[in-house]
Structure 1
């Protein structure tokens, strides 16, 4: 450790440049990781926040809520197997709404739930929906930026239905669109109006939902799968992954993060390898006077750790500072566990990049190094 610290203090400019480069790469890695996590949450916040273990969906719907249609008799069967308190119907429809007496169009996702069921989110402002609620909805607070207020009447462009905003919820979105929660009664009316609109024929007017949210253990899931041959039991994670654009978006961002990790390891490896070659003579002399190779290897490894740890600490502070300045609508999340994992992975990749330097130091021959110095 003495040799590692003394050398860093002696060549401040050289190691400061390496640290600056590592700082920028670490900041970029953490910032892109925060964006990836924020986008993932913004894409599926409503589903992720639901206290359900599985969803019952129509077979061959590709696990997508908007392609699934579950009948009321399947809901009754699920209640008999899992228990009425562990089953909740769910309707999902993406649509466009306008505020009455306004021309602004808003893309939203309608989510139909039982007003007093466990799928209903907590209200942060206004009044929640009750079993007697009709023509009232809860909306995500992001719609405040579009001028939506409590008491605002919104109109569904497809069916022509009107709802009055009775309250706001927070962090509720689906496929990057704000969520609008309506009662089960309004959902059935919406289904009926959709089935009778011009150009639509032969649509089933029986009670139907997009999915059924359940609390179930493994045995109950197997029982449900056997009892509902025309449906499939989907885990919450699988349902989230099937949201349009979710896997593609996350795949691209995760590939960027992986490349940034590899680039950081490569950059560190090149810098330290060049420095090691320049110090071959000094390493040879140290070996000739009896310094153990393991001591030199430990010194190189500690230098990498010091520089990476210092760069990471500063980059974490910078990311947290930038996060505090970002607008509220920016999808950015970086929780403590993700931050710790990212920093740990960065340190591991940096140490992996230093293996070239360690290998070079181990192969230095003291006599050859002294001979080159003498020449």
Structure 2
């Protein structure tokens, strides 16, 4: 590392340029990954945070919650084989408050009042008597001025629901979720005319991995999928994440090419110096270690600074932009960026190994 540090000090401007390139690519990678993570939570946090391991859907639903229709009698049959099972019914409504005319699109989840699917209430209380049109709402609705005790209504029908509690991380398809009991949900659907007879969209199950085979064997015309697979079935989820993942992939590939070319050019410029070092006894492995050391120092410094800049950017972004950072994501992409930087520099090692000391010294004398 002695030679690596001396070179960094001697060519400050040269290495500052490549450090800035590494920093900008890393910064952009972290920002895009934060947006991807934020959009994923904005689209599916209700499903991700939901208790349960598997989701039972109608076989013809193509793993999409809204397309699945299950008879109510199926729940009792599933409960005979599973440790825990709860029904889930979903609908989309447009509601307003009694005090303001601002319309809000929401997703309503209906389930048993005491089921495993009911979220933990962070403010207010849990649902009271069944069938009273009470709801637990995602806390993001507070940004729209909605408070506990407010009545939400639909202008085109007689639908009215009362907010009795708030819960965190309950979004579905980029809409806040309202949780209510099955009785209240059926009353709401009767008022809209969307549901003429009782049915469920899904049954969420807690159990061991063999529950999938058991239920699909015992019950016909159903499909049991993991919660992650159900999340991917949310409209637009795969497309959003796929586009952002492709952007991150191209950023990493571009970073690898830019860094590989930069260090290869520098190696060509230092051919004579490497030849002299070899002539006085420096081994190729020693020169290689110094090159890798340079890359690690530059890449690590760039990643650390870019992480700090990303947190600063996150603090400045408005609440309306879905942006989420977490430790595992930062570690994953930090390791990837540093690995790519080292991998790009490995192209120069072959050139260093081929340098002939006598030939290099001869060129200097000429």
TM-score class normalised by the smaller sequence: over 0.9
What is the CA-CA distance between 1:133 and the residue it aligns to?
Answer: 5.7
CA contact (8 A) 2:131 2:182 kept: no
Partner of 2:116: 118
Quick one: structure 1 residues 325 and 226, their matched pair in 2 at CA, closer, same or farther if it must change by over 3 Å?
Answer: same
Deviation track 1:279-325 (CA, whole Å, cap 9, x = no partner) reads 11111111122211111111111111110011111111111222233
Task: Select between 107-116 and 172-181 the one with higher mean Cα deviation.
Answer: 107-116
- Structure 2 distance, partners of 1:47, 1:157, is 29
Q: State the shift of 1:157 in Å.
A: 5.3
The DSSP-based 3-state class of the residue aligned with 2:113 is coil
Q: Which residue matches 2:232?
A: 241
Larger mean Cα displacement after TM superposition, 142-151 or 337-346: 142-151
Q: 1:164 deviation in Å?
A: 1.3
Unaligned segments of structure 1, at least 5 residues: 198-202
Verify: 1:213 aligned to 2:204, yes or no. yes
| 1:232 alignment partner in structure 2 | 223
Aligned to 2:298: 307
Q: What corresponds to 2:284 in structure 1?
A: 293
Q: Distance in 1 between matches of 2:100 and 2:32?
A: 37
Aligned to 2:64: 64
Contact kept, 8 Å, 1:116 with 1:130, in 2: the verdict is no
Gaps of 5+ in 2: none
- Native 8 Å contact 2:133 2:185 kept in 1: no
1:138-194 CA deviation, whole Å, 9 max, x = no partner?
211211222222222112356531111112111110011111111211112233334
Distance 1:36 1:233 in 2: 27
- Quick one: structure 1 residues 320 and 269, their matched pair in 2 at CA, closer, same or farther if it must change by over 3 Å? same
Distance 1:297 1:230 in 2: 62
**Are the equivalent residues in 1 in contact too, given 2:131–2:187 (CA < 8 A)?**
no
Equivalent positions of 1:103-142 (< 5 A) are 103-132=101-130, 134-142=132-140
Q: Does 1:20 align with 2:32?
A: no
Which consecutive segments of 4 or more residues in structure 1 shift more than 4 A? Answer: none
After superposition, the C-alpha distances for 1:47-82 in whole angstroms (9 at most, x for unaligned) are: 111111011111111111111111111111101121
Q: Deviations over 1:245-284 (max 9, x none)?
A: 0000000000000111111111111111111111111111
Distance 1:113 1:193 in 2: 18
Please, which moves more after superposition, 186-195 or 269-278? 186-195
Structure 2 counterpart of 1:367: 358
Q: Is the 8 A contact 2:134 2:164 kept in 1?
A: yes
Aligned to 2:343, which of 333, 352, 356?
352
SS at match of 1:319: helix
Give 1:221 shift: 2.2
Partner of residue 172, structure 1: 170
Deviates more, 1:231-240 or 1:318-327: 318-327
Match of 1:43 in 2: 43
CA contact (8 A) 1:116 1:131 kept: no
- Which residue does the alignment assign to 1:200? none
Shift of 1:12: 1.1
- Note the alpha carbon deviations across 1:211-243, whole angstroms, 9 max, x for none: 111112133321211122121111101000010
Secondary structure of the residue aligned to 1:316 is helix
Q: Would you say 1:266 and 2:257 are equivalent positions?
A: yes
Structure 1 counterpart of 2:189: 191
Structure 1 position 101, deviation (Å) = 5.0
CA RMSD of aligned residues (A): 1.6
Contact 1:95 1:109 in 2 (8 A): yes
Measured in 1, the distance between the counterparts of 2:352 and 2:267 equals 7
C-alpha separation in 1, matches of 2:365 and 2:266: 20
Q: Provide the aligned length of Structure 1 versus Structure 2.
A: 366
Give the corresponding residue for 1:153: 151
